[in-house]
Structure 1
């Protein structure tokens, strides 16, 4: 690890020599041991291959060149050290373009797929340029690697290190966030476009953006042809160390590196952390019928899990599976994570299909896999958030049991239970209470805390929140798979009409249900995640698997910000309340006990009559009373949440324990704006002893003052 000293322009040295001088702010870079390493006088190329018989680096003059201008052969006697091929090329400038090329055995049954004609992407490439080029000779010509210098003026930027318990995550797609012409930005669909929308993110009140994949992925077919189903989401990696070139403004090779860093720096300046969705479970090379353009042509059996006949194990559902617990692949992933943390100042990672990381080199699930444990214990990642999608495409499901206490998890049970409760399914009050209070059933047995539960009702994968209350069937015909793709179990409802309607009663109920679920999400113990656009009722017209929809179906329609200002106001008030209310952000599980005899317990549950709830009741209603016991924050206030998922109005009585407090209304989802939410909980005072009537499918929240 190297260290350089920088003094930001905003911190000028004092002119008085007797006055204390400002300390220089140290910036840390993490030098990668492999790839194209810039050195004084040239570039050192280093690459791993145990089984290659010869190695070359191909240099190009232009991105559009199909043939190299220069081929440099590694001398096996002087340029190979163990299984590392390394050669220094003098006078090679930053920005140079290159591929590797390796000879070796083609013996799939033995795990080898060398192709001496293939142009290979450097696994450690810092940036790519161009596209796949079609070739009549059958040679796959992938995007070219770019020689990159990691120097950047961070202006003193550091990781924000916000506790997970104080985090509100906003899942978003870099391109889709500003690509629409309605975004009114100068650089639509790019990292710079995100910068232009930081004021919106800040006003929304989120504290972290979770970016859908930004490491390199193909934007077209690997044979250079245009795909009928473009790769929009990006869950198809081909260069883990490189930010996606398609999100850069302009075509200059390597521009994405600087622009990505600028985006992170400006988000940090606004108090917003950056979490990356990383895909270490498979690559875009596919199975035995797929192309060879990187790992396959270097050491196939090391980087991929193989069957005995040389075919590919497929726990990802995408054709191959990265052999992540092989020492070489594991080392690459470590270097990659450190690279993003120290060279890009990334604050955390969400690991796609993370249960694959729990599989050993044979594909078997094991309790303490080296990779998962090392990520948790790596001292260089100690300040980062690590989040698992704790399942895979081969049946592994580890929600609540994924690794140790460093790992947070997407809580799929939370998503399903909240949807089913508000839809009015029977027998869901107990599940709703458990999810609202932090999912102790899942996380407490494994020694975790409420904030390890990443609570979400929607994600990129599935319906938007607006569509969840507008469609009962998926509408994925535009994906070209005859509506076979996408999940069939969505726990959704259209409330009488499939899709858009002019019937006012249905429209109002749908908006109310969206508010119910957003309120539940932001009032729950745990770490909430909102999907970009849900705050303004974005729709995908019933498509619940828009992975290939690089168009208005997926893009953020910024006209909705003005059309649905009432919903946006509702969410902004919720996030602001959560940020300032420690009662909703406990770091330990609720106990149902009070610190002192006359205090409210940290949580207690009641039925509509104000008495202790009967969990066997057929009602769809309950009251949650959150006390401030065990909290030391003066801002903590008692909170009372009344929930009614039934189809008719329901009277509630406040619990006797609540009558010694003065309560003001914060939320009433049944009321039209502005009476649906009172920022700062300044609504009407609750009159003790009088019935509280909740309309059908509604939620109220009161705050003690």
Structure 2
């Protein structure tokens, strides 16, 4: 089958686009994939098993609908097995291109070749421009850019921060700095993040987890029909390319340099960079979706299909990447190495990672090859690998995802902590289990407490402020009649839905936010804070703001000035966690002393100061963490008293620790600034007397 010539109104250009074969200009090894800069030109390499013809289309400008030059691969000399490879001299960095592939259009057999389609290179290092439409009805996707990866890293290397000493800050590159309230010269960009590094340093986090930064369509999203945008970015179309929408300026490919500058600056500040990657689906959707890359190159390889050619949908987004096919597995492997080597990325969080555990038929594997390869790859040995250990088709692998190398988002932690502080009956035991590191989930598989990524909120769902202000989702602005978003949020509004000026409700909401943040940062495991929670950012009750590229989602920097007590509270907790190994042990608590005469590493007591009776229903608990077995002079015993009941509760100090001098660190019911003593040098606890905790209160004491 011949490729259809690309037509143009220019006679000269039309002559260049005639589909006659072009000679091979140069021979070189036909790998790696993508557009590879050589000394005197560019080598284009692409995989397709069933294509009958292949082209490279070259463009002068990002706004051009038609190429100025068409180059055909010679199937006799430019094809090596299923790899199409051609060298084109006199091209360099900045060259704009697409692929075109001819082949069978037989959807029932999995083939969807379209010789008219302009195709994004799966290995493209950068994209430029927007979607363009021509009179022929063919959509022109953003153009691929040939990139020179050279960059002066100034000696930068991966920081290699131990996971047990990591505090993750989940953030959206654009949303973090887009608001005019943030000031800065580069709002909504990679460079804008650099402007805010002093803020991140002052907060004390050790890593940022960036929501998707690989290329995704903004104007072709599902929300476009409502006049909304693809804001979150969980809709990939070029896995190797940093998103052009977060670039300052418009020079094609310049996002590569700016992204590297951001990583270099964050590393210089001691902050690691973790990427949220989406290898479970692409933006091409199902059989009704567009063809702009994988579908037009080898649809039956890149996607999971059923016998009739329809797309299996374990992602909930229309298609599922066939991640355990050898070709796709190789692409994902190369992609991760690309981000680690070329961008110095410190780790990855894998969206809907259970899909990576499905074989080519969609069945869950006991030992999925891709998941094992990621864990064992020597190039990734210094990186953090984190799984969202579930998918949209019912797989749920929290606590059992793959090998000991993999950490996991702990969804049980989120739900149990929310329910405990809401005052649900029967949640004190689960709260204790989560506070102690979720050994029920992770110890059986040989993992450690730090493999549990503890979180109470994330990008998906309510913000922390909204968790205490709304009992019903308010997603009408998404244009889906409030059908989207989770209905099960374990939230409470404490008497009024949404904003209120009633002081008792406002006070309780603030206290509950501090209770949950304190719990998060005092728990064994690795904490993750969602950007803005430290200053009570609100999304006005929207728990699925995927399409809200506006103040609903953006970080409002005025909140930093409005809520200084919240900021100070979180700063103090983070600093305490980083210097206090008692709350971030690397092995699970045993309930036993490490040496005779020492406190047990953990002890549990009721409000009466006696060993807790777990068979009873109660809302009050005292946890004492001993300092034995820790080779760190900073280690001090810690006592945490928690009470989620609706009335005040008297606590007695456990008799086993009454002879110790306990200094107050946190009292969430106290008025600022006495709700936290950053140096843990608050009032001395009179251990012979009872301590009265107000309703919904956490107190923490440290031995002086």
Does the pair score TM above 0.5? yes
The aligned residue for residue 538 of structure 2 is 539
Instruction: For 1:134 and 1:45, locate their aligned partners in 2 and report how far apart those are by CA, in whole Å.
Output: 25
Cα distance in structure 1, aligned partners of 2:222 and 2:495: 47
| 2:329 aligned residue | 330
How far, CA to CA, are the matches of 2:421 and 2:145 in structure 1? 51
Q: Residue by residue, what CA displacement relative to the aligned partner does 1:608-657 show, whole Å, maximum 9, x if unpaired?
A: 01100011222200000000122111111100000000000000001111
- Matched residues in 2 for 1:468 and 1:239: separation? 35
Aligned match of 2:99: 100
Query: What CA distance in whole angstroms lies between the structure 1 residues aligned with 2:465 and 2:680?
Result: 26
Per-residue deviation at 1:563?
Answer: 0.3
Aligned equivalents of 1:597 and 1:337: distance in 2? 48
| Secondary structure at 2:622 match in 1 | strand
Structure 2: distance between partners of 1:548 and 1:222: 9
Q: Is the 8 A contact 1:140 1:222 kept in 2?
A: no
Q: Does 1:506 align with 2:525?
A: no
Taking the aligned partners of 1:684 and 1:75, their CA distance within structure 2 comes to: 81
Contiguous gaps of at least 5 residues in structure 1:
1-30
Cα drift, residue 135 of structure 1: 2.3
Aligned to 1:415: 414
Q: Which residue of 2 aligns with 1:174?
A: 173
In 2 relative to 1, CA 644–105 (structure 1 residues): closer, same or farther, beyond 3 Å? same
1:223 is displaced (CA, Å) by 12
Change in CA separation of 1:550 and 1:445 when aligned onto 2, cut-off 3 Å: same
For 2:139, what is the secondary structure of its paired residue?
coil
Give yes or no for contact 2:226–2:479 (8 Å, CA) kept in 1: no
The answer to whether structure 1 residue 279 and structure 2 residue 278 are counterparts is: yes
- Partner of residue 16, structure 2: none
Q: Which residue of 1 aligns with 2:115?
A: 116
Aligned to 1:593: 592
The verdict on how the C-alpha distance between 1:312 and 1:607 changes in structure 2, with shifts beyond 3 A counting, is same
Partner SS state of residue 413, structure 1: helix
Give the 3 Å change call, closer, same or farther, for CA 365–313 of structure 1 in structure 2: same
* Of 226-235 and 599-608, the range deviating more from structure 2: 226-235
Report SS of the residue matched to 2:132.
Answer: coil
Q: Post-superposition shift, 1:254? A: 0.4
Flag the 1:32–1:549 CA change in 2: closer, same or farther, 3 A: farther
String of CA shifts for 1:74-109, please: whole Å, max 9, x gaps.
001110011100000101021010000000000001
Distance 2:224 2:528 in 1: 37
Structure 2 partner of 1:20: none
- What does the per-residue CA deviation read over 1:440-496, in whole Å, with 9 as the maximum and x for residues that have no partner? 000000000000000000000000000000000000000000000000000000000
Q: Is the 8 A contact 1:198 1:270 kept in 2?
A: yes
Give the corresponding residue for 2:76.
77
Alpha-carbon distance, 1:521 to partner:
0.0
Residue 202 of structure 1 corresponds to which residue in structure 2? 201
Provide the rounded CA distance (Å) in 2 between the counterparts of 1:230 and 1:656.
59
Question: Following the alignment from structure 1 to structure 2, what is the Cα–Cα distance between the partners of residues 186 and 246?
Answer: 16
Task: Find the counterpart in structure 2 of residue 298 from structure 1.
Answer: 297
Q: Aligned-pair distance for 1:229?
A: 2.5
Distance 1:135 1:359 in 2: 39
Contact 2:223 2:547 in 1 (8 A): no
**Distance in 2 between the 1:197 and 1:638 partners?**
35
1:239-278 matches, cutoff 5 A: 239-278=238-277
Q: Secondary structure at the match of 1:682?
A: coil
Separation in 2, partners of 1:581, 1:113: 58
Output the CA distance in 1 between the equivalents of 2:596 and 2:123: 61
- Who is 2:147 aligned against? 148
- Structure 1 CA distance, aligned partners of 2:391 and 2:104? 32
Deviations 1:175-207 (A, max 9, x none): 000000001010000000000000000000100
1:487 aligned residue: 486
Structure 2 CA distance for aligned equivalents of residues 508 and 658 of structure 1: 32
**C-alpha spacing 1:158/1:300, structure 2 compared with 1 (3 Å):** same
Contact 1:355-1:391 at 8 Å conserved across structures = yes
Name the structure 1 match of 2:579: 580
Q: How many pairs align?
A: 675
Match of 1:530 in 2: 529
Q: Give the structure 1 partner of residue 698 of structure 2.
A: 699
1:395, 1:579 → 2: CA distance?
37
Aligned to 2:379: 380
Contact 1:42–1:90 (CA under 8 A) maintained in structure 2: yes
SS in 2 for 1:391: coil
Q: In structure 2, what is the Cα distance between the partners aligned to 1:472 and 1:688?
A: 40
2 CA distance for matches of 1:80 and 1:58? Answer: 18
**Structure 1 residue matching 2:337: 3-state secondary structure:** helix
Determine if contact 2:47/2:82 at 8 Å carries over to the other structure. Answer: yes
**Structure 1 residues 258, 515: closer, same or farther in 2, change over 3 A?**
same
Q: TM-score, normalising length from structure 2?
A: 0.95
1:36-86 deviation digits (Å, cap 9, x = unpaired)? 000100000000001000000000000000000000000011100111000
How far off is 1:222 after superposition? 7.3
Aligned equivalents of 1:229, 1:316: Cα separation in 2: 22
Q: 1:421 to 1:109 in 2, by over 3 A?
A: same
Q: Is the 8 A contact 1:304 1:320 kept in 2?
A: yes
Distance 1:225 1:206, change over 3 A: closer
Q: Tell me by how many angstroms 1:597 deviates.
A: 2.0
| Cα distance in 2, alignment partners of residues 635 and 223 from structure 1 | 52
- 1:640 counterpart residue number: 639
1:136 positional shift: 2.7
Conserved in 1, the CA contact under 8 Å of 2:418 and 2:490? yes
Aligned to 1:444, the other structure's residue is in SS state helix
CA 1:326–1:102: 2 relative to 1, 3 Å: same
Q: Which residue of 1 aligns with 2:17?
A: none
C-alpha change, 1:372 and 1:599, in structure 2 (3 Å) is same
- Displacement, 1:660? 2.1
Contact 1:134–1:223 (CA under 8 A) maintained in structure 2? no
Shift of 1:232: 0.1
**In structure 1, distance between residues paired with 2:241 and 2:90:** 24
- Cα deviation 1:353-388 (Å, max 9, x = unaligned): 000001000000111000001100111100000000
Q: 1:130 maps to which residue?
A: 129
Q: 8 Å contact 2:414–2:456 — kept in the other structure?
A: yes
The aligned counterpart of 1:66 is 65
**For the Cα contact (< 8 Å) 1:132–1:224, is it kept in 2?**
no
Q: Is the 8 A contact 1:220 1:226 kept in 2?
A: no
- The residue number in structure 2 matching 1:400 is 399
Preserved contact between residue 604 and residue 611 of structure 2 (Cα < 8 Å): yes
Aligned equivalents of 2:112 and 2:86: distance in 1? Answer: 24
Instruction: State the Cα distance separating 1:255 from its structure 2 match.
Output: 0.7
Counterpart for residue 35 of structure 1: 34
Matched with 1:159 is 158
Q: Deviations over 1:320-364 (max 9, x none)?
A: 000000000000000000000000000000000000001000000
Preserved contact between residue 31 and residue 45 of structure 2 (Cα < 8 Å): no
- Corresponding residue of 1:441: 440
* SS of residue paired to 1:693: strand
Q: Which residue of 1 aligns with 2:351?
A: 352
Match of 1:4 in 2: none
Q: Is the 8 A contact 1:134 1:225 kept in 2?
A: no
1:192-228: CA deviations, max 9, x gaps? 0000000000000100000000000001127998762
Structure 2 distance, partners of 1:189, 1:412, is 30
Over 3 Å counting, the alpha-carbon distance change for 1:250 and 1:355 in structure 2 is same
- Whole-Å separation in 1 of the counterparts to 2:693 and 2:224: 58
Any unmatched runs of 5+ in structure 2?
1-29
Q: Distance in 1 between matches of 2:222 and 2:598?
A: 69
CA contact (8 A) 1:121 1:294 kept: yes
In structure 1, the residue corresponding to 2:217 is in which secondary structure?
coil
